[in-house]
Amino acid sequence: MKIRSLFMLVALLACMISMSATLVFFNGKVKENIRGRLTAQARNICSLLSLYQNQCRSSLLTDQDPPSVHRKNLLGESATKLSQTGQGDIHIRYAARFPQNIQYQALDSDLSLIHLFKHNRQMDEYSEMVEFPTPMFRYVQPIFYQETCFSCHQKTQGSSLQDVAPALLIVEIPNVSFSDEQKSKFLALAAINVVGYFMTFVVLVALLQRTVLKRLKGLKSAALCLEQGDYDQAILTYRENAQNEFDVLANAFYEMKNAVKGREERLRQKRQQIYSMFHVHQSIMFLVDVENYHVLDANVAAERFYGMSAQALKAKCFYGLHGLDRQELAELLTVCLNGRQEFIELPYQDVGELRCLEVRLSPVDVDQKACLFLIIHDITAQKNARQQIQKEHEFFQTVIDNMVDPVLVLDTSRHIKKANRAALALADGKLDDPEEVCCYEAFQRGSLPCDCRSKSCPMHTVLKTGKPASIIEHIDSKNKIYEIQAAPYFDESGNMLGVIESFRDITKRLEVENSLIEQERKIYDLTHYDNLTGLPNRSVLLDRVNQAIYHALIKNTHLALISLTLDRFKKINETLGHHVGDCLLQEVAQRLNTLVPQGQTVAKDSGSQFFILLEEVPQQEDVVDLADVVLKGIKQSFHANGHELIPSCSLGIAFYPEQAENSTELLARADVAMRTSKDDMGGGAVTVYDPKYGEIAPQSLRMEADLKHAIENDKLHIHYQPQFNLENDVLVGFEALVRWNHPAEGPVSPGEFIPLAEETGLIHSLGRWVLRQVCQQIHSWEQAGISVVPVAVNVSSLQMKKNNFVHILEECLNEFQITAQLIELEITESAVMDRLEKSMELLSAIRGLGVKLAIDDFGTGYSSLSYLKSFPFSKLKIDRSFVMDLENDENDAAIITAIISMAKSLGLKTIAEGVETELQKQFLIKHGCDEVQGFLMSRPLPVEAIETNYLSSK
């Protein structure tokens, strides 16, 4: 409906409603006026009737006067009065209870009026319009009885004055004339209202036409121009001071026009930008029809990739470019449209190469048409890279799966990224989905990290320090002990990505190490304590003597050493048997432990010799007294295997610092004193050392000078003892042994002149001479075309303490141009353990030259497993003292077996020296010894014999 029609309808309805309200109002006023006039007329009538009422009240009627006279007079006079006034159609009646109306023969309406006034005595009048039986106006006025009327009326009502119903004067006036008057006035008023409201309606319509409709027509025209986008034709005027709502509306239209115009301009610019971006973007872009997948537009990148112009591409369907049919493409695109995938992959056959394209799509509306916007990337290189990475991952997984040890790759949040088969087996099914499981959940069966449960965790250490860490962990589910090693891994920027953990089952290794430690302990006990008596042996004694001398120097105290040997012990062994001799030695050891004060040392040397070391000796006489007590205690009778023995012993005493300056001298002079007791005094005696017993200084000086002369003039000789492989008896090396043929004394034992060389310092020149001779001999053999095997050279501990030893060795190798692997240096345990740090540095330097290293006389010194693992040795030489009694002594056999087992576990070769019998050789073969040397195979031989018997040309 148009605004004009709507406005006219609203105005018409308003006029009609207003006119109706006016007519109703004025009609009520007319009725009210007519009713007021009727009420006034009725009051006047009642005023006339009240006169007769008063007469009735003033008359004194007797009982004989009939009541009819009373009513007749009242009503008659009233009718007369009314006819005189020209109102004869007015009806008047008197409603009351009186003697002539005992049966209450009154109208029902009168009775109701009587009751109304009886219960509302404050009412003085009542009026109402009555329509039945004819329209009339009824007016009622009460007449309350006085005392003069009460006696008469009481006869009918039988009540007090207050309870007697009042008499009512009822006036009824016809309403016909007044209704006609009301109708005529209503019609006149209605005519006046219709004319007035019609004129008002006409004026409002004209005003609407000149104001509202004209302005609305202008706004409508402007709106149509805006709708058509013709902003210049939309003529609108902006008024700064809006005077009415139409000005406000016009201003709003004006602002809307500018806003729409600006928005259209921005949309145009944005559309242009999108169009430019679409066509110049490096990614391949298509706009295709959603129904038939017909190409609607394509950018420059698409032209370049597909080798077609935009027009050529628009002439094709998108699925045809990729060798698909419409249904196949629809199924692929539906997956993305449903949100199940972000993109799809399509193949494209390029010239000679199959390319892989990643297609991402989004539904769009272009010009009210449903389309698909496609963004395409060539992911051939990325896919090939992913495939290569996948292959590398598979290769990596294959590699770690073939590792025996369990391996885990963890991220920094402890989630397992990769695990090999061994790790899966170790986790017992807890790694069905490794990337959803943390390491502590799989292996510790806990819900919190190990460091949160006061449990050691290598990963916690790695994450905290960024450095590798390892722990030993017992995994209860497998009842095994694992060494867990953890190391970080980083990206190219150095950021930690996670941790790699490996689990090595070291249960057996620990068992072997514990076994080796136990064997080492046994070897230590066997090599440092006498197996028969349990007393410390000579090596322990020397160590304790050195310590005692050190303490004596610090505390400025004295000490004494007693050397004790049993008299006629050899004869007891020969006559009564070795088992009796062993019992005797055990008994003597027990007696010495009882007789010697607690805290002092009792040691057992070879044979039947014992030593007693006494520290912090107050007086020499106290030591002699103790020696006498020991002598008497040993001489007590003894029973062994049914034989009664009365042992006897010889004792020698030497004091420090009075008679010796070092441990070697102290032992030697105690031995000299003991030999004096035994040889010169016939045994069973105690002798204190005296210089006159051993004047050997001149002899030592002569031997020192002769040895020096022999070294300087090449009067010494090198003999070579062959070394053989026990498996095939093949020659594998020689040991170089120095020999000295004294011009006056004849052959001098190495056991005599080598200690002398060490004591006098000649060992350095002697060792250098031996080393040069060996290198020169090897060079000669090589020059002669002889196949050369490695040669072992013994090195003294004093040589190793000299700073230029490595330089001398390197100088000899360079001088004769020989291969370093052909030289093997044999070094005793004591030489190595004397200075651990320096020894490690020296041995590493020697090994760096390529020279091999072997431990000489193993088992007689420290025999420590820890240093064997630390030093760069390649061979371990079993001392001859264990080999010589191998056939008869089970302890020696046990020691050799333990040494061979320990060497194998450490990856060292073993060689036994001093093999003289076939049984010894077979024992060594049985227990896995690698090499052997001894008189059974060959004695040490001069060069000529070696070349003849063992060396041949290449």
Q: Would you say residue 697 has pLDDT above 50?
A: no
CA distance 771 to 777: 10
pLDDT of residue 4: 62
The 10s digit of each residue's pLDDT in 254-292 is: 777 777 777 877 887 887 777 777 777 888 898 888 888
DSSP alpha helix (H) spans, 59-139: 67-84, 108-119
Token representation of residue 285 = 């872009």
pLDDT of residue 74: 52
Q: Would you say residue 182 has pLDDT above 60?
A: yes
Calculate mean pLDDT across residues 291-301. Answer: 87
In total, the chain counts a number of residues equal to 954
pLDDT of residue 160: 56
Instruction: Categorize the per-residue pLDDT at 180 as very low, low, confident or very high, splitting at 50, 70 and 90.
Output: low
Q: Would you say residue 462 has pLDDT above 70?
A: yes
Query: At 650, which helix (H) or strand (E)?
Result: strand 649-656
Q: Which residues of 791-825 are buried (b: 16+ CB within 10 A; e: fewer)?
A: bbbbbbbbbbeeeebbebbbebbeebebeeebbbb
Can you list the domains of the chain with their CATH numbers? 3-181 (no CATH), 225-269 (no CATH), 281-378 (3.30.450.20), 391-505 (3.30.450.20), 536-695 (3.30.70.270), 710-949 (3.20.20.450)
pTM of the model: 0.38
Calculate mean pLDDT across residues 670-696. Answer: 82
Read off the DSSP letter of residue 351.
T
Q: Would you say residue 649 has pLDDT above 90?
A: yes
Q: Would you say residue 57 has pLDDT above 50?
A: no
| Residue spans of beta strands (DSSP E) within 694-822 | 716-725, 731-742, 746-748, 791-795
Query: At 656, which helix (H) or strand (E)?
Result: strand 649-656
The 10s digit of each residue's pLDDT in 595-620 is: 999 989 999 988 889 999 999 988 99
Calculate mean pLDDT across residues 629-645. Answer: 88
pLDDT of residue 432: 60
Q: Would you say residue 937 has pLDDT above 80?
A: yes
pLDDT of residue 564: 94
Residue type, 785: G
Q: Would you say residue 772 has pLDDT above 80?
A: yes
Distances (CA, A) of 17 to 199, 276, 748: 15, 66, 160
Q: Would you say residue 102 has pLDDT above 90?
A: no
CA distance 831 to 796: 7
Q: Percentage of the chain with pLDDT > 90?
A: 21
pLDDT of residue 724: 95
The 10s digit of each residue's pLDDT in 857-878 is: 776 654 555 566 778 888 999 8
pLDDT of residue 77: 59
The 10s digit of each residue's pLDDT in 303-340 is: 888 888 888 888 888 888 888 888 888 888 888 888 77
Q: Would you say residue 40 has pLDDT above 70?
A: yes
Calculate mean pLDDT across residues 369-373. Answer: 87
